[in-house]
Structure 1
């Protein structure tokens, strides 16, 4: 059994912890929160044996093998870094950090400590996304010419909410845009150049449209938004057909292969839980094997995605404290 410790007790921690119960080799043994009462309530709700009012105390728990960091973006770096220095494996919510420099630091610390680290880009491990990669690699739709993906939905403007707060790493790109960018780079690699256009509210990107350029005219057209009502769908266009991922592409239950002179080929998935269990199983498998990172979400790719996001944010004029 792999012993898990959860840092933070917000909505994402609640859902992911519930999905951990769907993984036979995962056992949640501790939870921490700055509010000890919240930690105790979370532990009671999920049947977790120990709760802590300070995550440093949880890092000293010998029964915790891997730490899941579910804090706001701005706290990812310090919490994950301390966990790595304590010798704990880390699964850290995306984006790994709010800056490329901090992301590079975490990767460096993980490698020096010889400890497992992975960004929690859970979409990568969904069975249909794994199938997408295989279909593309097998040339089912020929050579890829473009990737289109959008993730946007209206969020009420509230300067006190983390999504609108620069100090909390707010804005659409880091919270939502990381999904389209990660999908595109999973299939096409790091782009030659990035062009971004959007608008700011309270110093964070309320919306962003990205054009990623690749050799020979290949491109990715991506968008994220806190103000627009987007379909949250994705399409991969090839020379011999296309693959469509209906809403919502970050948690797909259907994938459609469309080729000329052929009926659409539909692949479906019946999800149990919310879908986070696949990344939890990946971490357990890698830790059991003694691996220090995941080949499906390698650290170099996390850094590459962060470079793209950083370039886009710089062009939009977003800077975080």
Structure 2
């Protein structure tokens, strides 16, 4: 995009919970961006969101927002099964786009979306915002500095207790196998897998096993996987969404030490090597997507490249699909 004094005007398709605090305000706080319009299928809820967040336009017609000449770029924050539909329309309209994660329900959909934006020579971002958070940039710094030597393995163990929604049988797209075959794995594990590829490079071999242990919904609720990064780092993971308690533990094992951290929990980063133990606390911003959004601004103005693109997110979905045996 041209460098210009006037702000880049964004429209949001799907102004639900994720946009209330995590992302929407981040667009408003970013110099050079303006959140101009929001859309959701319920026009009254869209108008309420616009009123509470001081946004000029609202409506229930996604096509009208996408083709609005006063909208320069579009953020798609709907459930994943509609991401491709809207993204292809944004590409056709000739506008940059950011898509919420996971990028789409399948690797094939991700390839189609990425190809459309490539062919149109348009920027495509995906909201894997952990790549931009200072907490995880610190972990990457420790790794790149060789603080624990040569990296050998990474292991992530994530468990959650059964939710009241699951027990009640209330519909939840996160456990609808047509949208998320891996259940909560698709929504949550995607963050960590994407982060690990940011640390260690693309995954070149991966396999997994999965099952439904609770029988509360049709999607999977327990998954295990092993993989190999192009850098030679081995990875393993285990995820269960009907466990006794919540756990979120990542350990990076090196030839001269280890690093522990959590993907979701706000716990200290811990580095252990021959020099002793170092513990660091780095708080997230109030609106967790802030640095991700600011990096999009810098990318669009030609200042720097963004760490989370259609290509990186497509690779993440390829890994998820391989783990679940979908491809």
TM-score exceeds 0.5: yes
Q: How far off is 1:216 after superposition? A: 9.8
2:4 is matched with none
1:300 is matched with 311
Partner of 2:220, secondary structure, is: strand
264, 272, 283: which is aligned to 2:277?
A: 264
- CA, structure 1 residues 250+20, in 2 after alignment: closer, same or farther (shift >3 Å)? farther
Q: How far off is 1:159 after superposition? A: 5.5
Q: For residues 92-140 of structure 1, give each alpha carbon's deviation from its aligned partner in whole angstroms, at most 9, with x where no partner exists.
A: 1111111111100111011111111011101111012112222212211
Distance in structure 1 (CA, Å) of the matches to 2:71 and 2:123:
14
1:8 is matched with 14
Whether 1:208 and 2:213 are equivalent positions in the alignment is: no
Distance in structure 1 (CA, Å) of the matches to 2:148 and 2:62:
48
197, 201, 220: which is aligned to 1:185?
A: 197
Partner of 1:173, secondary structure, is: helix
1:1-321 alignment, distance < 5 Å = 1-15=7-21, 16-154=23-161, 155-156=163-164, 157=166, 158=169, 160-169=171-180, 171-200=183-212, 201=215, 202-214=217-229, 218-228=233-243, 229-245=245-261, 247=262, 249-250=263-264, 252=266, 254-260=268-274, 262-289=275-302, 294=306, 296-314=307-325
Structure 2 unpaired stretches of 5+ = 1-6
- CA, structure 1 residues 270+45, in 2 after alignment: closer, same or farther (shift >3 Å)? same
Of 141-150 and 115-124, more deviation after overlay is shown by: 141-150
Q: For residues 271-291 of structure 1, give each alpha carbon's deviation from its aligned partner in whole angstroms, at most 9, with x where no partner exists.
A: 331321011101111111187
Distance in structure 2 (CA, Å) of the matches to 1:6 and 1:83:
12
Distance in structure 1 (CA, Å) of the matches to 2:189 and 2:57:
35
8 A contact 2:209–2:324 mirrored in 1: no
Tell me the C-alpha RMSD between the 2 structures: 2.3
Size of the aligned set, in residue pairs, is 311
8 A contact 1:253–1:271 mirrored in 2: no
Distance in structure 1 (CA, Å) of the matches to 2:31 and 2:267:
23
8 A contact 2:13–2:40 mirrored in 1: yes
- CA, structure 1 residues 216+19, in 2 after alignment: closer, same or farther (shift >3 Å)? closer
- CA, structure 1 residues 71+62, in 2 after alignment: closer, same or farther (shift >3 Å)? same
Runs of 4+ in structure 1 over 6 Å off: none
Distance in structure 2 (CA, Å) of the matches to 1:214 and 1:269:
27
Distance in structure 1 (CA, Å) of the matches to 2:84 and 2:265:
26
Partner of 2:301, secondary structure, is: helix
8 A contact 2:133–2:284 mirrored in 1: no
Q: How far off is 1:12 after superposition? A: 0.6
- CA, structure 1 residues 115+286, in 2 after alignment: closer, same or farther (shift >3 Å)? same
Distance in structure 1 (CA, Å) of the matches to 2:92 and 2:265:
33
User: What TM-score results when the alignment is normalised by the length of structure 2?
Assistant: 0.87
8 A contact 1:31–1:51 mirrored in 2: yes
- CA, structure 1 residues 217+23, in 2 after alignment: closer, same or farther (shift >3 Å)? closer
Q: For residues 223-275 of structure 1, give each alpha carbon's deviation from its aligned partner in whole angstroms, at most 9, with x where no partner exists.
A: 33332334223221111111111x4x246563222112x23222322333132
Partner of 1:88, secondary structure, is: coil
